[in-house]
Amino acid sequence: MYNTSMQVEVLNKINEEIKYVRTQVFMLEQGFKDEFDDLDEISNFILIKDSDKPVGTCRIYVENNKYILGRLCVVKDYRKQHLGKQLLDAAQSLVLTKGGHSIHLHAQVRAAAFYQNNGYQSYGNVDQDEGVDHIWMKKTF
């Protein structure tokens, strides 16, 4: 069940609210250094806000005719409220409106069960991104 007090926005460029969420989760909490990259310039973004406070985000871009979802995160105080699933569902809706039929993502292995519970299947070998184990996953719809 979604928290209906949250607002979901689809944006075609990165903004300070998205940067804030990703900085909180990936850099300050998880210790990643290379959080922002050129893919941010070609991505669409989904942002979840609680009133005016940004609390969750992800990005979607196209590479080699594949829709790639990445940088999905929710700030710590808002976890366990199904916002991650809400982000995945919004991403799937966005991809469907663009004519896509699948989403690929490069998941942290520790988060793979979350994606599996939402219909994603892993493929390929485990590799590393900044020293953290990741695996490619895909959902077809």
Q: In the prediction, which pLDDT does 5 show?
A: 77
Q: In the prediction, which pLDDT does 95 show?
A: 98
Number of structural domains (the chain) is 1
Over residues 76-130, the pLDDT tens digits come to: 999 999 999 999 999 999 999 999 999 999 999 999 999 999 999 999 999 999 9
DSSP 26: I
The CATH number for 39's domain is 3.40.630.30
Both tokens of 118, joined, read 């939402």
Q: In the prediction, which pLDDT does 139 show?
A: 98
For residues 8 and 90, the answer to whether their CB atoms sit within 8 Å is yes
Residue 124 within any structural domain of the chain: no
Show the domain range for 49: 6-106
Mean pLDDT in the chain?
95
Residue 1 within any structural domain of the chain: no
